[in-house]
Copies of this chain bind each other. A is one copy, B any other.
Amino acid sequence: MNSCLRVDTGHVSYPIHIGSALLQQPQLIATYIQHSAVFVVSNLAIAELYLDRLKSALDGFVIDEFLIGDGEHYKTIQTVEDIVGAMLASGQTRETTVIALGGGVVGDIAGFAAAVYQRGVKVIQIPTTLLAQVDSSVGGKTAVNHTLGKNMMGAFHQPSAVLIDVDVLNSLPRRELRAGLAEVIKHGALADADYLSWLKTNAKELLSLHKNTITEMVLRSCEIKSRVVSEDEKEAGVRALLNLGHTFGHAIETLSGYGVWLHGEAVAVGMVMAADLSARLGKLTWEDARYLKSLVEAFELPSSPPGNLTPEQLLVAMARDKKATAKGIRFVLLNALGDACLEEDVPVEILRRTLQAGETLCCG
């Protein structure tokens, strides 16, 4: 069951291929490479598992590669400079196609390197984690972290194609699988209540990687993501709804130190906090807030922030978020399950109650 979706932002259009054994289809990958040179960016762990398979599929191309270390702490501008250096040293021109083979960190770094290399070369995203497959590889957001904040240097750089081979999920550590499922829950929460029910019904199959169920899920999530991105490439409007859970989540990640929490784990807590805040503001029923919390827990994800973070620390970190405007912190909240909205005028005393709630989040 292989599927193809299209992202069409008006000025660029590209396909997302979803299915099994895509890495073994040379003719599929070759379609998206215009010249002979390919520069693969991956990391050590993924390269060991899949780089040879990819190289076999790229028979006939001139392939160079750069492997980065594993983990969010490599997501720096220094790594981008190193990639650019390796590309220059191997004589890459503006006609080179970069292939990002890896999870969200590899996709973000390689995508940004492609965005800035000689002011921009093409990139193909081959995401190898669930999080990257359903979220970060689609939509063209690339970035690296700054010591003062996550994803603070970056670019919108749409890929030529996204190739999602669900087989690679078999090698994914269970913790990362769950982290990816957080973004999947997010898609349902912001855009499709039926999808949330489907996820609840299929939780067991999904956690045990039943192939057809996983493929259907990746497809449904990519449909939601690509619909939103097609409508709003540069996050001027509706795309911001994809940040559900992220204002809280980024604060948790930043304060805990990059890499201690997985992004998806922080987003899971952030969604529960957003649901709690939505309920406190009278937008969402407490019942629906609890339902979302229970779904997060059904997928074995954390549902409350670490106890050592004070509300004041969280407030300061959130005020520095990219989604903040001069007016104040911008939240994605829920009017109902499947119906998200933006809100800039949250009274700080209500926000504090959410930040203090801890394990009683969504308990009303």
Contact = CB atoms under 8 A, between A and B. Distances in A.
Q: How many copies altogether? A: 2
A142 B115 CA distance: 12
Contacts of A85: 146-148
Interface SS majority for chain A = mixed
A88 B325 contact: no
Nearest to A330: B93
Contacts of A120: 155-156, 234
B93 A326 contact: yes
A84 B11 contact: no
A311 interface: no
A320 interface: yes
A94 interface: yes
Interface in A147-182: 147-149, 151-156
B155 A119 contact: yes
Given A119-B143, A154-B118, A154-B119, A148 B324 contact: no
A137 B247 CA distance: 36
A157 to B, nearest CB: 9
A205 interface: no
A37 B118 contact: no
A322 B95 CA distance: 10
A131 B91 CA distance: 30
Contact of A152 (B118, B143, B322): B118
A141 interface: yes
Given A77-B77, A91-B320, A141-B119, A36 B326 contact: yes
B88 A320 contact: yes
Interface in A67-100: 77, 80-81, 84-85, 88-89, 91, 93-95
A146 B92 CA distance: 14
A281 interface: no
A11 B146 CA distance: 30
A95 B156 contact: no
25 contacts: A11-B11, A36-B326, A80-B153, A84-B153, A85-B146, A85-B147, A88-B146, A88-B149, A91-B319, A91-B320, A93-B325, A94-B325, A95-B326, A115-B155, A116-B153, A116-B154, A117-B152, A119-B141, A119-B142, A119-B143, A119-B156, A120-B155, A120-B156, A120-B234, A155-B155
The 8 closest A-B pairs by CB, nearest first: A88-B148, A119-B154, A118-B322, A116-B153, A93-B325, A93-B324, A77-B81, A84-B153
Interface of A: 11, 35-37, 77, 80-81, 84-85, 88-89, 91, 93-95, 115-120, 141-143, 146-149, 151-156, 234-235, 319-320, 322, 324-326
Given A88-B320, A93-B324, A120-B234, 17 more contacts: A11-B11, A35-B326, A36-B326, A77-B77, A77-B80, A77-B81, A80-B153, A84-B152, A85-B146, A88-B146, A88-B152, A93-B322, A95-B325, A115-B155, A116-B154, A118-B322, A119-B154
